[in-house]
Amino acid sequence: MIEEDTGKVVASARAAGVSPVITIGITVPSSLDAVAAARAHEHVYAAIGIHPNDTEGITPDQMDLLEEIANSSDRVVAIGETGLDYYRERASADAQKTFFREHVRLARRLGKPVIVHDREAHDDALALLAEEVAGEVPVIMHCFSGDRTVLDECVRRGYYFSFAGPVTFKNNDAAREMASLVPADRILCETDSPFLSPEPFRGKPNTPERVALVAKSIAGARGVSLEEMESLLSANTSRAFGIPAEGT
């Protein structure tokens, strides 16, 4: 995304009351872009990582480069998106596990939270996290898609749960039920822009300001006001990522 477009996206988010913004890298180049955006905009922070679908054929040198990127700026507040994705077949399970493990170890070395992508890989993802995290860093379960059993185990471990556009989908009562069960101090929300646009924008490119629609859906599921939900999400985001609380 060119700087002019980034500026417009950030301005639109702030106009909608969405601040801070955490932009997430899913490759080395996009991680560099995320850090550049965070440096250029006061209310933007970066997470850096290599998405599990892009782990086939990557080398340890690329992980070394990620560590250099993380150490280059205090605007980097998390490692990820990393994890396991057994829905798509763009990378082998072995490659995904190897570099998921390396991302978690990097997060531990740096003392930063790890953002976990877990799609149809709950057992393996939880097993690897149990081996590698050991309670040393916060774990954020990105776009949580697990059932009650997975949720209960993640609650026991003290993980955070982030919900995105799918929680607004009319046929996704299961996600809203899970959002209603998460402990109040562990719930987060996100857009996953430009993906997973919430209703009524489903199927269209997503933007950060639409996180307000996700927050509204979660508030409804939990039976609280939107204002209460926004305050809770702001406090949880600040605690999970170690950044100032500014808004939703």
Q: Is the distance from CB of 162 to CB of 192 less than 8 angstroms?
A: no
For the segment 20-32, the average pLDDT, to the nearest whole number, is 95
pLDDT in tens, 79-122: 999 999 999 889 999 999 999 999 999 999 999 999 999 999 99
Q: Is the distance from CB of 103 to CB of 114 less than 8 angstroms?
A: yes
User: Is the per-residue pLDDT at 248 higher than 70?
Assistant: no
Residues 6+ apart with CB under 8 A from 209: 12, 13, 15, 16, 18
pTM, 2 dp: 0.94
DSSP 198-213: PTTSTTS---GGGHHH
Secondary structure class of 46 (helix, strand, coil): strand
CA-to-CA separations, 200 to 47, 81, 165, 203, 204, in angstroms, rounded: 28, 26, 10, 9, 9
Position 244 scores a pLDDT of 86
Closest CA to 83 of 37, 136, 36, 142: 142
Position 18 scores a pLDDT of 87
Position 64 scores a pLDDT of 96
Percent of the chain with pLDDT over 70: 97
Quote the CA–CA distance of 66 and 63 in Å, as a whole number: 5
The alpha-helical segments, DSSP class H, found in 82-170 are 93-110, 122-132, 148-157
Q: Is the distance from CB of 168 to CB of 209 less than 8 angstroms?
A: no
Q: Indicate the helix (H) or strand (E) that contains 23.
A: strand 21-24
pLDDT in tens, 161-178: 999 999 999 999 999 999
